[in-house]
Structure 1
Amino acid sequence: MNTNGLKVLLIDDTVMILQRLQSLLAEVKQVSRTESATSAEEALVLMDGYQPDVMVLDINMPGMGGIEMLRKLNVKQMIKPVVIMLTNNTFAGYRDECMRLGADYFLDKSRDFLMIPSIVEKVQERNVLQF
């Protein structure tokens, strides 16, 4: 296990999506640990103790959605994780709002899903270069 690697938090209300993401990221040597949450509320509680380096966040979930979670993160987080928004709703207004609130990536679940491992690898490379 890579104890110096990235910690990733996966947030999606669809368990199959979470399982697929965990499977994809298990193959990425830069990832030391993944945690998952099926709601934004659960993820916010996890974030305090877990402090992820990368967060993959769905936009539309019951209760608090991903965009509202981004708003809360901007208010409470001093060190922001790299945020990858993952959605079936690629409406430009959603994209613009997510990017305005600090998301780093905005991906279409049906088209861009398999890009996530390479994005996470780039995050680790960037972190290594900063030291």
Structure 2
Amino acid sequence: MTSGTIRVLIVDDQKMVRQGFTVLLDAEPGIEVVGQAVDGDDAVAQVAELAPDVVLMDIRMPGTGGIEATRRITGPAGTTVKVLVLTTFDLDEYVYEALRAGASGFLLKDASADELAHAVRVVAAGDALLAPNVTKRLIAEFSRLSAGPRTPLKDRVGALTERETEVLGLIAHGLSNAEIATRLVVAEQTVKTHVSRILIKLGLRDRTQAAVYAYDTGLVRPAGH
């Protein structure tokens, strides 16, 4: 981020939505909208040209949609661009697929200006963000869809210590570092260290990938499943 400013690219096929988000975010200190894209292909091209820190990505767009665009943006090794998915559709399949594609966060379009700005800052800082009202259904969706082949991924779980495995489970259930620290009665910095080691050992990019991994491998399942 240049001089501490978070550079944002807004991707939506509706001009009024793009302009609205631009006005809201440009009014926030430390956030600058550097571009607008009208579809997934345009988004991929503008990411290459503008190198934003965060992409606000609509899911449903004509042509190349947000999920495929997210996959193309976050796929290259070493990329630091974070994708925050915005949608009016509160549907499990979109949450799940967007996160599997590499999105770091998910937020509904009816979020307030403060919530939107907070989401951009959280994602830019490298943390995962999910709209609270979709988290429970997301967990259930992970559980339902995680019945496929898991052996190659699960092999890596053995590299984790017992405490790291415990922390991974709490991440997958949506707890923040502070909440995990309270649950385990340890310092928050200790939790951060555990999270960093988990990501390194499992070869994952962020907490969102860690949550996806935990459910994909069957390591974690919601209560009652």
| Band of TM-score, shorter chain | 0.7 to 0.9
Matched with 1:76 is 76
Kindly state the Cα deviation for residue 80 of structure 1 after the two structures are TM-superposed: 3.2
Kindly state the Cα deviation for residue 113 of structure 1 after the two structures are TM-superposed: 4.9
- Give the strand-richer structure, 1 or 2: 1
Equivalenced residues, count: 124
Q: Sequence identity, in percent?
A: 30
Matched with 1:86 is 86
Matched with 1:66 is 66
Which consecutive residues of structure 1, in runs of 5 or more, have no partner in the other structure? none
Larger radius of gyration: 2
Kindly state the Cα deviation for residue 77 of structure 1 after the two structures are TM-superposed: 5.5
TM-score w.r.t. length of structure 1: 0.83
Decide whether the 8 Å contact of 2:11 with 2:36 is kept in 1: yes
2 CA distance for matches of 1:89 and 1:121? 23
Which consecutive residues of structure 2, in runs of 5 or more, have no partner in the other structure? 127-225
Query: Which of the pair has the greater relative contact order for Cα pairs under 8 Å at 6+ separation?
Result: 1
Decide whether the 8 Å contact of 2:54 with 2:82 is kept in 1: yes
Matched with 1:116 is 116
2 CA distance for matches of 1:6 and 1:42? 20
Matched with 2:46 is 46
- Give the helix-richer structure, 1 or 2: 2
Matched with 1:19 is 19
User: SS at 2:80's partner residue?
Assistant: coil
User: SS at 2:29's partner residue?
Assistant: coil
2 CA distance for matches of 1:123 and 1:15? 24
User: SS at 1:76's partner residue?
Assistant: coil
**RMSD after superposition:** 2.1
Provide Cα deviations, 1:71-106, integer angstroms capped at 9, x if missing partner. 222433631322110111221011011112221111
Alignment-mate amino acid for residue 30 of structure 2 = Q
Deviates more, 1:114-123 or 1:53-62: 114-123
Matched with 2:96 is 96
TM-score w.r.t. length of structure 2: 0.50
